[in-house]
């Protein structure tokens, strides 16, 4: 556009910002603010696009900086900052920002409410307060807001409120069913998760990967091994969904909890995640609980081979060897763990000293 003598508009720039966000391209991220200043496109929508782009590119400090440079705060600028803060786990800041929007009479919409609900501390008064805001502002029928309320109440242990909200939805979709299944799973209601899944399918809805993961988590918390296995294998055979790492991790953990460690090991070895350090760590913990020496020895070796510089793996292996009475292997692992930890600390202090010299 510039080569042909055409001046880009604000819409052109917004499209460019979306490209930067989608690709997380560092060049775009650095070039955009300069181009913005030169072109004079300092509108509210462009600033909100910048806040969103920085957040998606992992630069929360720049998101906050742009937000504070806005002459007049609006919902359009507050919402992308809320979602960026939420992405970084800065939940207290999300709640504070929502409070600022209320105090300064900026107002809020369904996006603001959903973000605030996701960031709430797990308490009934907090949920009730935002629930009142939802009703007062007329968003009690908005699906994302209702699903966020279902999630918030379940995290507070108030499952009855989550169920009540779900039953008030006239025609619940996949997202609604997944939200209530997740709420049931979080509260250890494995059988109810399966019943809700059946109801969902009977309503003509097709569960997605998130739905299956939520039901598997419910089976995991309730020790429903056979049901979990049937569900896991039906994902691909009946619904054409290939299990992801989280599904395998959940299944390995479920099998490990009840001592089916040989089966858990076979499942992991036959997957794309046979070299996953975290899942093997879960296997080794289960081996310690159920005193399975054979699988445990192989799991300990995998941990040490996968991340030899990680002291936690050697320390976990040493505890396992101590449990089975192999004190020589325990001593060796512990010595290596200490050496690895000391080496990491030395490297860390060296980096701080170098920065200090500058």
Number of H helices, E strands in the chain: 20, 0
In a domain, 118, yes or no: no
Note down the domain range covering 345: 244-358
Q: Which of 61, 85, 109 is the last residue of a domain?
A: 85
Domain count, the chain: 2
- Output the average pLDDT for the chain: 85
Percent composition of the chain: helix, strand, coil (DSSP 3-state, to 5): 75, 0, 25
CB 98 within 8 A of CB 109: no
In a domain, 93, yes or no: no
Instruction: Indicate the SS3 state at residue 217.
Output: helix
339 Cβ contact list (under 8 Å, min separation 6) = none
| Of 328, 335, 338, 301, the residue nearest 317 (C-alpha) | 301
pLDDT tens by residue, 101-136? 988 889 888 889 888 888 877 667 777 888 888 888
pLDDT tens by residue, 70-89? 888 889 889 999 999 998 88
- In the predicted model, is pLDDT for residue 36 greater than 70? no
| Of 145, 175, 144, 150, the residue nearest 165 (C-alpha) | 150
Q: Which of 63, 85, 107 is the last residue of a domain?
A: 85
Residue 285, domain CATH: 1.25.40.10
What are the E-state strand segments in 156-314? Answer: none
In a domain, 219, yes or no: no
d(CA 337, CA 333): 6
Question: In this predicted model, which residue has the larger pLDDT, 53 or 348?
Answer: 53
Q: Which of 68, 85, 102 is the last residue of a domain?
A: 85
In a domain, 303, yes or no: yes
pLDDT level of residue 348 (50, 70, 90 thresholds): very low
pLDDT level of residue 206 (50, 70, 90 thresholds): very high
Q: Which residue has the tokens 């879960």?
A: 282
pLDDT tens by residue, 322-332? 999 999 999 98
d(CA 53, CA 50): 5
In a domain, 137, yes or no: no
In a domain, 53, yes or no: yes
pLDDT tens by residue, 290-319? 999 999 999 999 999 999 888 888 889 999
d(CA 345, CA 309): 12
CB 333 within 8 A of CB 319: no
CB 49 within 8 A of CB 14: yes
In a domain, 79, yes or no: yes
CB 66 within 8 A of CB 47: yes
- What b-and-e string marks burial along 206-242, b requiring 16 or more CB atoms within 10 Å of the CB? ebebbbbbbbbbbbbbbebbebbbebbeebeeeeebe
Give residue 266's pLDDT: 96
In a domain, 313, yes or no: yes
User: What mean pLDDT do residues 187-214 have?
Assistant: 96
User: What mean pLDDT do residues 36-49 have?
Assistant: 68
- In the predicted model, is pLDDT for residue 248 greater than 90? yes
Q: Give the whole-number percent of the chain exceeding pLDDT 70.
A: 86
- In the predicted model, is pLDDT for residue 249 greater than 90? yes
């Amino acid at each position: 556009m510039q080569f042909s003598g055409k001046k880009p508009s604000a819409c052109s720039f917004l499209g460019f910002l979306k490209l930067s966000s989608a690709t997380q391209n560092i060049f775009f991220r650095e070039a955009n603010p300069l181009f913005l200043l030169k072109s004079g496109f300092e509108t509210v929508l462009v600033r909100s696009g910048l806040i969103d782009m920085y957040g998606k590119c992992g630069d929360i400090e720049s998101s906050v900086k742009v937000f504070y440079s806005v002459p007049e705060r609006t919902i359009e600028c507050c919402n992308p900052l809320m979602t960026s803060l939420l992405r970084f786990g800065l939940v207290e800041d999300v709640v504070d920002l929502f409070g600022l929007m209320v105090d300064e009479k900026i107002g809020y919409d369904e996006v603001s409410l959903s973000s605030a609900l996701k960031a709430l501390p797990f308490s009934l008064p907090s949920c009730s307060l935002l629930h009142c805001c939802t009703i007062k502002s007329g968003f009690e029928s908005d699906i994302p807001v209702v699903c966020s309320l279902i999630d918030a109440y379940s995290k507070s242990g108030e499952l009855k409120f989550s169920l009540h909200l779900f039953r008030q939805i006239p025609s619940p979709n996949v997202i609604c069913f997944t939200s209530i299944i997740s709420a049931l799973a979080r509260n250890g209601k494995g059988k109810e998760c399966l019943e809700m899944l059946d109801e969902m399918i009977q309503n003509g809805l097709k569960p997605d990967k998130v739905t299956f993961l939520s039901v598997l988590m419910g089976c995991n918390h309730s020790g429903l091994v056979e049901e979990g296995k049937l569900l896991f294998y039906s994902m691909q055979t009946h619904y054409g969904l290939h299990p992801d790492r989280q599904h395998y991790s959940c299944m390995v953990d479920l099998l490990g909890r009840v001592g089916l460690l040989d089966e858990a090991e076979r499942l992991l070895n036959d997957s794309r995640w046979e070299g996953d350090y975290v899942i093997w760590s879960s296997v080794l913990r289960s081996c310690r609980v159920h005193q399975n020496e054979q699988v445990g020895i192989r799991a300990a070796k995998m941990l040490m081979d996968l991340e030899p510089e990680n002291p936690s793996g050697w320390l976990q292996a040493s505890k396992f060897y101590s449990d089975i009475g192999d004190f020589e292997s325990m001593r060796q692992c512990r010595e290596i763990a200490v050496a690895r930890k000391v080496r990491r600390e030395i490297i860390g202090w060296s980096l701080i000293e170098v920065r200090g010299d500058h």
